[in-house]
């Protein structure tokens, strides 16, 4: 493989072929008055023992500053019907957004999400124009439902039944 200059556009176009789930990363001050949230698809499980996950946060975002200050964060894995919430926290605000959050372990989570993962900041690693925030998981919750997906710049969904009908092993 030869080393060439790779543009951000080429990275986005190529890696956009990889389907991801959609999350909202949240954090708040100790009083719970100053909540910050952002839509992210740079989320991964890192370790089962100890339980660790990571989120990838662009240096240009407020979240990049807030996570080290608060020392904790939540990840809400969005349900298939939560595209509007994903857009809201990606910078396209909803006109009405009362009661978007529920709280657990001092962290806000998106109501109606199919899973919540609450973390204490474990480590930070600079990675180009992003920082990888590793969190030690201290709270887990999940419910039945299909996830919101992101592929080639668009949101989508696939139910378990659709996956089975398509021949995918589930």
pLDDT digit string, tens, across residues 144-161:
999 999 887 778 877 666
Would you identify the CATH topology of the domain 20-165? Pnp Oxidase; Chain A (2.30.110)
| Entry pTM | 0.86
pLDDT 10s digits, 99-131: 899 999 999 999 999 999 999 999 999 999 999
**Which pLDDT value is given to residue 102?**
95
Tell me: pLDDT of 162 over 70. no
Please report the pLDDT score of residue 166 as a whole number.
66
* Closest by CA position to 124, among listed 36, 29, 55: 55
Q: CB-based contacts of 136: which residues, under 8 Å, 6+ apart?
A: 50, 51, 52, 119, 120, 121, 122
SS (H, E, C) the chain: CCCCCCCHHHHHHHHCCCCEECEEEEEECCCCCCEEEEEECCEEEEECCCCEEEEEEECCCHHHHHHHHHCEEEEEECECCCHHHHHHCCCCCCCCCCCCEEEECCEEEECCCCEEEEEEEEEEEEECCEEEEEEEEEEEEECCCCECEEECCEEECCCHHHHHHCCCCC
Token pair listed for 153: 């710049």
User: Which of 161, 43, 23 lies closest to 86 in space, CA to CA?
Assistant: 23
| pLDDT exceeds cutoff 70 at 13 | yes
Under the banding of pLDDT at 50, 70 and 90, the label for residue 32 is confident
Domain spans of the chain? 20-165
């Amino acid at each position: 493989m030869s080393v060439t200059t790779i543009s951000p556009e080429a990275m986005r176009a190529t890696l956009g072929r990889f389907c991801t789930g959609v999350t909202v990363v949240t954090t708040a001050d100790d009083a719970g008055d100053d909540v910050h949230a952002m839509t992210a698809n740079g989320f991964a499980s890192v370790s089962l023992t100890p339980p660790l996950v990571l989120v990838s946060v662009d240096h240009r975002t407020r979240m990049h500053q807030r996570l080290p200050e608060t020392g904790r964060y939540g990840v809400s894995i969005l349900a298939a019907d939560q595209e509007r919430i994903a857009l809201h926290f990606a910078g396209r605000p909803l006109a009405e957004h009362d009661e978007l959050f529920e709280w657990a372990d001092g962290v806000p989570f998106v109501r109606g999400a199919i899973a919540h993962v609450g973390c204490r900041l474990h480590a930070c690693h600079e990675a180009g124009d992003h920082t990888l925030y590793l969190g030690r998981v201290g709270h887990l919750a999940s419910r039945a439902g299909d996830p919101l997906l992101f592929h080639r710049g668009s949101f989508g969904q696939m139910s378990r039944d659709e996956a089975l009908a398509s021949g995918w092993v589930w």
